[in-house]
Amino acid sequence: MARIVFGSYFIRYPLGGMMSHVLQYLVGFQRLGHDVYFVEKAGYPNSCFDPRSNSMGDDCSFGMSAASSLLNRFDLAERWCFVDAHGGYHGLERKRIEAIFAETDIFIDMGTHGTWLEEAASSGLRVLIDGEPGFNQIKMAKSRAAGERLHDYDAYFTVGANVGTDLSPAPHVGRLWRHLFHPVVVDLFAGMPSPADDAPFTTLMNWQSHDPIEYQGARYGQKDVEFEKFGTLPRRVRSSLVLAASGRDVPAERLRKHGWKLHSGHGESATYDSFTAFIAGSAGEFSVCKNVFVEFNTGWFSDRSAAYLASGRPVILQDTGFSAHLPTGEGLFAVTNIDEAAAAIEEINLRPHRHQVRAREIARDHLDAEPVLRRFLEEASAQASTSAT
């Protein structure tokens, strides 16, 4: 058994999709028999989102309450620590979390941006998981070009299965990138009822969460850019298409004219339970990916799509290069254009039960948390040992 401290964020953004995303790692490590803790820091002022007021601020009480309640359900009570923008400790007190770090075998940074590296200095291993492949490598390359020092870890992982290989032009930044797909604890989604005959194809997405990024004369955007390629899809299929969108500048009127049914992204993912219920009420998922993921052929695959698959809901996802690593054609479809997306929807409608069964099989055989995280820990230890010699 290893002691694992996992750093990410969901207290600052306490919506169901993010909570599910982090929970898969925590429960996955727990199922493997490890002693696991969660840590997060505000890092800067006004970094806490409160869905009740739809505003950012320093008060993270809503996020802490939501996180504590969810973690309690999964036997992870008193295994979290949040440090607010004023340096106040919540959950585990400062002395306790520092003592835990002193006896930690592996610290995993998946979105804390190095804010826990001082506490993790005495940990056995310090591992980075890059959750924004292409985007983060560009940021790292630009920081290094500006003379800034990058944070150092013992091992580097990315959820972009092609990053660091000849399949992706994303910069390596002098790092050896190993790979994992976001894990999913499949049995957390067991027992989902079959969708209704008229169930829509759905997705939850952030239309534009931050500004585009420029690199070597090119400009890379987000899902807003890629969605334009599929904007008239509702006119091409018989099924209803529901887009639960949040973020900036959603062109609601234009999307409705094309036939999209718009829901509130924050509303459908207000809690972990509403997030899973939204998936359960779907015939499947259709979604695009961030422009930077697509242009750099990163091989990224969505943690949200993994939850759809585990729920027995087939997925139609814009290809980022993940089709080189996951089986497609039944249960999971990698598409590059509107014609392929329309054909995939019609195929699922012809054989819904077959694609539902195959979706769950793909989640179990390729994304299940226990084998994915077991391999991750083995590779992290091996890479760290190689680097040490």
CB atoms near residue 194 (< 10 Å): 12
What is the tens place of the pLDDT at every residue in 327-368? 999 999 999 999 999 999 999 999 999 999 999 999 999 999
First to last CA, the chain: 25
In eight-state DSSP terms, residue 365 is: I
* Residue numbers in the chain where pLDDT is lower than 50: 389
Structural domains of the chain ordered from first start: 3-184+369-388 (3.40.50), 186-367 (3.40.50.2000)
pTM for the predicted model, two decimal places = 0.96
What are the C-alpha distances in Å from 314 to residues 72, 128, 146, 180, 227? Answer: 31, 31, 44, 21, 20
Map tokens 């002098």 to a residue.
Answer: 174
Beta strand 89-91 with 106-109: parallel, antiparallel or unpaired?
Answer: unpaired
Q: What is the pLDDT of residue 386?
A: 64
Task: State the Cα–Cα distance between residues 180 and 131, nearest whole angstrom.
Answer: 10
